[in-house]
Amino acid sequence: MDIKTATALRRLRLVSAPEAVSFLLLLLCSVLKRTTDFNGVPVMGSIHGILFLLYLVFWAFAWYRTKWSVKTALLYFVLSVLPTGGFFAERKLRRESEDAVIASRARREGVVESS
**What does the pLDDT look like over 91-101, one tens digit per residue?**
999 988 888 77
Closest CA to 16 of 45, 46, 59, 47: 59
- Is the pLDDT higher at 99 or at 13? 13
Is the pLDDT at 115 greater than 60? The verdict is no
Buried b (16+ CB within 10 A) or exposed e, 9-47: bebbbebbebbbbbbeebeebeeeeeeeeeeebeebeeb
Crossing angle between the packed helical segments 41-66 and 3-35, to the nearest 10 degrees: 160
Distance CA 60, CA 100 (A): 19
